[in-house]
Amino acid sequence: VLLAGDFGAGKSHLLEYLQHVALEHNFVCSKVVVSKETPLYDTSKVYHSAIQSARVPNRAGTVLNAVAEKLDFDSQGYQDFYRWVFSPRTSLDSRFAASVFVFERGQGGRYPEVSDRILQFWGGARAPETELKGWLRELGEVATYKFGKISVRDLTLQRYEFVSRLIVAAGYSGWII
């Protein structure tokens, strides 16, 4: 749903109300203001704005840190997410599967510098290919993941779906942008 209206029509008030309701229903919410700095056609800028503005129910801090803290690797939600990420039918770039593998093997926070770097990638930073290969090598999985070329736009589009499913895997109802 895209809201439009003249100055003073109540767009911001409506969005604040809807965000309040969504947070009460356990949704992660992002308010993105479309402007010259964040044009709707630029998926990377919209994604960056959505990640930066995301609010998590009853949590403080950045969205991906809050989501990562709530992940339970033994939960049904996470198991469904894991199967989707590693499914041969998924259209995800292998960088996502590799990063999930490394993140989980590091128990999501046992190696904070590794976890932070992976969360940055999920949040929109450049893929840490060299670091990922090193971590995979340490875990004996270097041959499993091949990193081909992918455009920034395609990687960003995949991040929307990946992070949306990650949010659900952490027990939230979904992600509203």
**Angle made by CA atoms 166, 131, 127, in degrees to the nearest 5:** 50
Measure the CA–CA gap between 119 and 175, rounded to whole angstroms.
17
Residue 107 pLDDT: 64
Measure the CA–CA gap between 72 and 24, rounded to whole angstroms.
22
pLDDT in tens, the chain (177 residues): 777 889 999 988 998 999 999 999 999 999 998 899 999 999 999 999 999 999 999 888 789 999 999 999 999 999 999 999 999 899 899 999 999 999 998 765 567 788 899 999 999 999 888 899 988 888 888 778 888 899 999 999 999 999 999 999 999 999 999
Region at 108 (left for phi over 0; alpha for psi -120 to 50; beta for the rest): left
Residue 110 pLDDT: 60
Residue 94 pLDDT: 93
**Angle made by CA atoms 39, 47, 103, in degrees to the nearest 5:** 165
